[in-house]
Structure 1
Amino acid sequence: MREIRSSFNLQLLAMLGLWMLLLLLGVVSPAKIHGNPANDLVALVNANRTASKLPRLRTSAGLGCMALQYISECIGIGGDACAGDNTVACQPPEAHITEVYAANCGVELPTVDVITGRLVGCHRQRSDAESALDAVLSSGNSTARASALAVIRGKEHTQVGAGFDRAHRRGPFFWCLLFTSGSANSTFLLEAAGKGVHQTHGCFSAPDSLSCSAGAAANAAAVVPLLLFFLLVLVVVGHS
């Protein structure tokens, strides 16, 4: 009878611990961002260009990481960086793009080239790229819309990079597009065989990056010690 009761208590403890672990995972994990919105932004830019009979732009991971760094600086400033009209109330110094962001991403400094265009925006509710870009292209401000289209359709561009991140668990969501006229084979190249410096949050455009999972991976790593502690408790109780 004592063995049955001990077994029942062990099973109950295991179920309770598992339930608490799942609850904790739900708390620490951010609201899910489906796929990689940064890659989706690049696809939307190229769709707009081809509709205007302009050549598609190559995706640059180096530029994409630098775009992510741009919005990260805006988010880090604090305050209400996302204005009511989905514009970003933040203007980092121009020199930061090529001097600070490139180094933070692990872009090979000799390959840093000219930035020929920049587009930044945000959205308070939606985390998908289409809503983010439409908020600018469908703006009631005709001047802002014309300016955004002029950047996207710039004839001097050869490459584009996009960054996507959020300020808080439920938003607002920030995005940035950087353009260059440099050669794809010799500009904004990442160190470490194209891997560059690992980013711990957000996502940026890269052909081999299909998900915006940097933040989720960090959260999962934080839960591992708790899981090990829970397993240790089970072992101790099982031998008592």
Structure 2
Amino acid sequence: MRNLCIVECFLLCSSLFAVLVSSKYHGNPANDLVDIINKNRTAAKLSRLSDNAGLGCMALQFINFCKGNCTSNNNVNCNPSSDNFTEVFAPDCGVELPTFDTITGQIVACQPGYLEPTEAFSRALVPDKKTLSLLRNKSHTEVGVGMVGVHKGPFFWCVLFSNGKTNSTFVLENHGLGIKQKRGCFSGSSVECSRGHSNGAFWINVSFTLFFLIIYSVFSYRSVEILF
């Protein structure tokens, strides 16, 4: 019985460790949105867009700049000038200015809270034919997605498109390693992503998992006591 309890404890710790690891390395939802965008384009027999980290980082800067401007009907009432892109967003990201190219379109959206990528795509980013037409513009070659939440406030998404040449436009200095990303996510990046939403949800999930594992262990232990 003692050996069985040790096994139960080992399984409990292993399961919790697995939860922690899978949560930490679950992925970048900004990259998931790029995948959804490309699947929508290929379904319409259009070319896939290259996931550009420079564009993604500037998309994140864009919504950080605009995150106090979500209206009551979930529109982003903010329109940064072209100078903001070249003089603020690009330098803050470490985009090499000689590689800055034309931005052919942008989609910006906000919602009261975080939405999973599929729902964010359909409800926030592409809710109508106008934005769908922009997404399917044949001139686009590259895309970048940024996303961030406001503490106790709305959640923001931004998609930037470009017709630049893949691997030679919006290039990040030192491959983007010098960017200090504190909040939010952007696509095409290997920088650790906060997943854009509160870590509180993560710890709630861990707590529930731990609770059910402990209950399972206790009942298993009592079952062994009855058998013996």
Match of 1:94 in 2: 82
Give the Cα separation in 2 of the matches to 1:175 and 1:113: 21
Amino acid across the alignment from 2:187: S
Amino acid across the alignment from 1:188: F
**Does residue 105 of the first structure (1) align with residue 93 of the second (2)?**
yes
Alignment of 1:1-240 (within 5 A): 35-75=27-67, 78=68, 81-136=69-124, 139=127, 145-168=128-151, 170-206=152-188, 208=190, 211-212=193-194
Superposed CA deviations along residues 14-50 of structure 1, whole A, max 9, x for unmatched, are xxxxxxxxxxxxxxxxxx9x63221111111111101
Q: Is the 8 A contact 1:122 1:132 kept in 2?
A: no
Gaps of 5+ in 2: 1-23, 200-228
What secondary structure is seen at the aligned counterpart in 2 of 1:157? coil
Give the Cα separation in 2 of the matches to 1:185 and 1:138: 27
Amino acid across the alignment from 2:74: N
Q: 1:207 to 1:191 in 2, by over 3 A?
A: closer
What secondary structure is seen at the aligned counterpart in 2 of 1:125? coil
Superposed CA deviations along residues 2-24 of structure 1, whole A, max 9, x for unmatched, are xxxxxxxxxxxxxxxxxxxxxxx
Identity %: 49
Deviation at 1:215, TM superposition (A): 8.9
RMSD (Å) for aligned C-alpha atoms: 2.6
TM-score by length of 2: 0.69
Superposed CA deviations along residues 70-96 of structure 1, whole A, max 9, x for unmatched, are 000012xx3xx2223322122222321
Q: Is the 8 A contact 1:36 1:209 kept in 2?
A: no
What secondary structure is seen at the aligned counterpart in 1 of 2:146? strand
Give the Cα separation in 2 of the matches to 1:209 and 1:42: 16
Q: Is the 8 A contact 1:107 1:196 kept in 2?
A: no
Q: Where has structure 1 moved over 4 Å in runs of 4 or more?
A: 213-217
